[in-house]
Amino acid sequence: MQTNIIYHLKNIRHYYEKTAVLDIDELDITKGSITGLIGSNGSGKTTLLKLLAFALRPTHGDIFYKGKKEVCFSPSVRSKVTLLTQTPYLLKRTVFENIVYGLNIRKDKTNIEERVKTALLNVGLDYQRFALRKWHQLSGGEAQRVAMAARLILKPEVLLLDEPVANVDSQSAKLIRKATLNARDQWGATLVVASHDLQWLYSISDRQLSVSNGNIFATGFENIIQGPFEKTDKSIVIKKLKDGQVITLKKPKKVSNTAIIKKNHLFFNLEEPINKSLDNQLSGQVVSMLLGEKSGHVLININIQDLPFTIRLVPDQVSRLELYPGKKVILKFSSADVEWT
């Protein structure tokens, strides 16, 4: 069991100058898993990925790789972990040279050309058209995909992807998804992927972590309500929405500005009531319904005003509830079911 935990983070705190940006008490990542990182801008995804890539040293705390505490440049991680940075940097060389760079470092010279061909193919680029292009002769998405190819060709143990499909068209996104899954299935790579394209991320990751200003909850696609909240009496806090609707929540023990409501605590008006006081009844609208291609679940995004909620159902549930985008619905949940970070 222990053996197949590849990353173990302990009491990680990271500061830029004085500002804390990451605060992780404990985090395990199992071998061969695909972890999705979700979080608003500036929540700390990139920072976390840099830490995992050992490209940045945490201000406090240790990162264990395969049970051993590792740091920058230690040979046991150097050529095993690779990171696709958020804004990929291409060396001032041809596409071909960019892709083989990592191989050259590893002194790996076996049928390069073939492998470059396949690497490019995996990201949907044609060898003939692109191999000899200069680094600056690419479009945004093409550059992004070349960078991706340069990582895939290394067949690394750990593949860290920071926004791999930003600037990438939907077709290519599919390809990258395929390549990603392929990496896991073919050589058992462990992947950590940060993306704002929830549908895409949901379609590749078997576990989602939401990052919210430096904190991590090992529970993806939960519904996060950010403060500010107003205190009324000792026991509860409330958040007023623009249209006058009010969300009531049980007061947090320690001060906190981030409330979480688990999916399974959310109910539709259409569902049969259950023995529980669902004191929050919020009317909203279904904005989108996405099929999670791996799980076969359907993700249903509902806006209460501009507060987004997500519920996960199986297709026939959906059809039973007769949901469709644009449909008005009422969401219910109990103020007691809130969890605070």
Partner 1 sequence: MDYLVEGFTKAIDLLINGDASTWTAIWATLKVSTCSMALSLGAGLPCGFLIGYFDFKGKRHLRTLVDTLLSLPTVFIGLIVYAFITHRGPLGEFEFLFTLTGIAIGQTILAFPIITALTATTVESIDKELKLTLVSLGAGKRNILITCLWEVRYGILAAAVTAYGRVMTEVGISMMVGGNIKYHTRTITTAIALETNKGQFADGIALGLVLILIAFIVNLSLSFLRKQ
Ligand X SMILES: Nc1ncnc2c1ncn2[C@@H]1O[C@H](COP(=O)(O)OP(=O)(O)OP(=O)(O)O)[C@@H](O)[C@H]1O
Residues that bind a second copy (CB under 8 A): 16, 39-42, 46, 86-87, 137-142, 145, 162-163, 166-174, 196-199, 285-291, 293, 296, 298, 306, 308, 315, 318-319, 322-327
- Which residues lie near partner 1 (CB under 8 A)? 50, 53-55, 72-73, 78-85, 87-89, 91-92, 101-102, 105-106, 136, 150-151, 154, 160
Query: How far is residue 210's CA from residue 93's CA, in Å, rounded to a whole number?
Result: 37
Query: How far is residue 33's CA from residue 204's CA, in Å, rounded to a whole number?
Result: 10
Is 213 a binding residue for Mg ion by CB under 5 A? The answer is no
Residues numbered 70 to 99 that lie near Mg ion (CB under 5 A) are 86
Shortest Cβ distance from residue 160 to partner 1 (Å)?
Answer: 8
Which of a second copy, partner 1, Mg ion, none does residue 81 bind (CB under 5 to 8 Å by kind)?
A: partner 1
Which of partner 1, Mg ion, ligand X, none does residue 41 bind (CB under 5 to 8 Å by kind)?
A: ligand X
Q: Measured from the CB atom, is 57 or 276 closer to partner 1?
A: 57
Q: Which stretch binds Mg ion (CB under 5 A): 134-142, 176-184, 200-208, 313-321?
A: 134-142
Q: Measured from the CB atom, is 87 or 235 closer to partner 1?
A: 87
Q: Measured from the CB atom, is 33 or 124 closer to a second copy?
A: 124
Q: Measured from the CB atom, is 293 or 337 closer to a second copy?
A: 293
Instruction: For the chain, state the CA radius of gyration.
Output: 22
Shortest Cβ distance from residue 162 to a second copy (Å)?
Answer: 8
Is 140 a binding residue for Mg ion by CB under 5 A? The answer is yes
Q: Measured from the CB atom, is 15 or 268 closer to ligand X?
A: 15
Q: Measured from the CB atom, is 155 or 196 closer to Mg ion?
A: 196
Shortest Cβ distance from residue 140 to partner 1 (Å)?
Answer: 11
Shortest Cβ distance from residue 48 to ligand X (Å)?
Answer: 7
Shortest Cβ distance from residue 73 to partner 1 (Å)?
Answer: 7
Write the CA distances from 140 to 90, 125, 145, 161, 176, integer angstroms.
11, 13, 9, 17, 15
One-letter-per-residue 3-state SS of the chain: CHHHEEEEEEEEEEEECCEEEEEEEEEEEECCCEEEEECCCCCCHHHHHHHHCCCCCCCEEEEEECCEECCCCCHHHHCCEEEECCCCCCCCCEHHHHHHHHHHHCCCCCCHHHHHHHHHHHCCCCHHHHCCCECCCCCHHHHHHHHHHHHHCCCCCEEEEECCCCCCCHHHHHHHHHHHHHHHHHHCCEEEEECCCHHHHHHHCCEEEEEECCEEECCCCCEEEECCCEECCCCEEEEECCCCCEEEEECCCCCCCEEEECHHHCEECCCCCCCCCCCEEEEEEEEEEEECCCCCCEEEEEEECCEEEEEEECHHHHHHHCCCCCCEEEEEECHHHEEEC
Enter the tokens of residue 221: 């696609």
Shortest Cβ distance from residue 53 to Mg ion (Å)?
Answer: 13
- Which residues lie near ligand X (CB under 6 A)? 16-17, 19, 21, 39, 41-47, 86, 136-142, 167
User: Can you state the angle between helices 95-105 and 112-122, rounded to 10 degrees?
Assistant: 120
Shortest Cβ distance from residue 306 to ligand X (Å)?
Answer: 19
Which of partner 1, Mg ion, a second copy, none does residue 154 bind (CB under 5 to 8 Å by kind)?
A: partner 1
Shortest Cβ distance from residue 168 to partner 1 (Å)?
Answer: 18
Which of ligand X, Mg ion, a second copy, none does residue 296 bind (CB under 5 to 8 Å by kind)?
A: a second copy
